[in-house]
Structure 1
Amino acid sequence: MSSVRPLITSQIAVLAPGFRALSICVEAAPLINPDFAQKALADACQAVMNDDPAWAQAHLGAWAEVFRGFGAKPQRTPCSAEALRKRVLRGGGLPPIDPIVDLYNAISLEYAIPVGGENLAAYVGTPRLVIADGDELFDAVKDGQIVNESPEPGEVIWRDDMGVTCRRWNWRQGVRTRLSSDATRMWFILESLPQMPLDALQEAGGRLVEGLGVMMPGTLIEQELIGPDAG
């Protein structure tokens, strides 16, 4: 199986000291047990309504500070984990979207961690986390139509050789690399700050890997820890 190691610019360590992530590459098998994801999502929503991990609010608060550090306003454009949790707390749950998306959203909710899922086959070159110049292209949906926009200069973005794949670090995903269950090559990135214990990050990755194996028996999976804790 072909794996990918995302590139992270050295400026990220200045903006978010101690940032670490789990990168998980998947060669997908046929989706056999999609119902697993719906139950996982429902359970995760209930967990958000009932209780949080002891470190959850500190972790989300740290993400808000990082967003402020590159000029984003977390009240309006929060990190993806905060945005999901606000929707659950407001409405009591989330509607299903796609089994694979539902699964990684469930992990994000339960562990208060931004989780990205990407169609790796749609990438041109290596995923990389960088500071935007402001002239990169990002494909977004507006009024039901796909339009091109650009990030703000100084904004943290995920990108490849073609353009931006996710704006404001993990706030809004682009259309081109959006993941669904019919993808044959998948890439997940679980992004954490030091307020989340390392063992919780590894547990979250393990739960994602386990769920993928249940839903798609025979799937090939590789994972790698990225950041200061990596061996």
Structure 2
Amino acid sequence: MNAERSATHTFHHASQLRAEHPRLAAGVLFAVGISADADVSGPVEHLTGIASSRLSAASESELPEVQAWRRAFSRMGLKPTQFRCASESLLRRLRKEGALPRIHPLIDLCNAASVAFATPVAVLDVSKITWPLEVRHASGDEQYTTFSGEIENPAPGEVIFADSAGRAHARRWTNRQSGYSAVNDATDSVLIVAEALHESALTDIQELTATLTNALNTIWAVVPATAILTHQQPRFDFSPAQHVTS
């Protein structure tokens, strides 16, 4: 067993960020045994159907989950119509095109859950992260890799997913993930993070986390380690060695 497998990893939100966003609730899942050959068409269809039903009654910008993220982006000095949280962007695409793009079974599942709950869901390849991973304000010298391979430096104060090597795995909080830790066909271990800021965030995050947990178990036959993170419980500690599948 190598050191990476035996180590305990930590994901958490910085105390300053939680003080600025007291309603922040996050559902976090760690899973081993993900493959790219799974069939997720059933749950994806079900979840996108829920989203389409919601969109038939209101536009994505009118949903309370999205409005809460728009307020947060405005507070961060970002124009909400220029920089949208991931769930709003997906909902917008679903409304315009009637479907979401198929990328990888796990990404497709999480994107479908994201639109169903109107909540950003990040999916990261655990092997690409130098732990711990913290959601915090950037100092400005961190490095972010775009999907085209270009290197950017987040603006000082911008909210990022930062690891201990100074790599940013997401920019503008829930706006865009890094290509560096994106899930691909060789990915086996993943960290899934869903974050919400609206009034019923905690209840909805609990339901979203349960939905993904059940789907992972049904589709990949894995039992993820999970946690609901709040102001009272801001950290998720997990050991990959304890969740290796046979």
Q: TM-score, normalised by structure 2?
A: 0.82
String of CA shifts for 1:92-117, please: whole Å, max 9, x gaps. Answer: 22121111101001111001111111
Question: Using the alignment, how far apart are the partners of 2:150 and 2:186 within structure 1?
Answer: 24
Question: Using the alignment, how far apart are the partners of 2:55 and 2:63 within structure 1?
Answer: 14
- Asked whether 1:155 is paired with 2:158, we answer yes
**Counterpart pick for 1:173 among 169, 174, 177:** 177
String of CA shifts for 1:51-95, please: whole Å, max 9, x gaps. Answer: 47xxx7222111111111112221111111111111112222212
Contact 1:139 1:147 in 2 (8 A): yes
Question: Using the alignment, how far apart are the partners of 1:94 and 1:223 within structure 2?
Answer: 26
Identity of aligned residues (%): 24
Partner of 1:98: 104
Q: Structure 2: where are the runs of 5+ without partners?
A: 235-246
- Asked whether 1:202 is paired with 2:180, we answer no
Question: Using the alignment, how far apart are the partners of 2:19 and 2:44 within structure 1?
Answer: 38
**Counterpart pick for 2:17 among 12, 34, 59:** 12
- Call closer, same or farther: CA 1:45–1:18 in 2, change over 3 Å: closer
Question: Using the alignment, how far apart are the partners of 2:52 and 2:109 within structure 1?
Answer: 15
- Call closer, same or farther: CA 1:200–1:45 in 2, change over 3 Å: closer
Contact 1:38 1:96 in 2 (8 A): no
User: Which aligned pairs between 1:1-231 and structure 2 lie closer than 5 A?
Assistant: 4-30=9-35, 31-40=37-46, 42-51=48-57, 57-141=63-147, 145-162=148-165, 163-180=167-184, 182-217=186-221, 219-228=222-231, 230=233
- What code does the residue aligned with 2:52 have? Q
Q: Could you say what secondary structure the match of 2:103 adopts?
A: coil
Q: Structure 1: where are the runs of 5+ without partners?
A: none
Contact 1:100 1:181 in 2 (8 A): no
Q: Could you say what secondary structure the match of 2:81 adopts?
A: coil
Give the CA deviation at 1:178.
0.4
Pairs aligned (count): 224
Q: Compute the RMSD of aligned alpha carbons.
A: 2.3
Question: Using the alignment, how far apart are the partners of 2:134 and 2:46 within structure 1?
Answer: 30
String of CA shifts for 1:120-162, please: whole Å, max 9, x gaps. Answer: 1111111110101111110013xxx411011111100011123
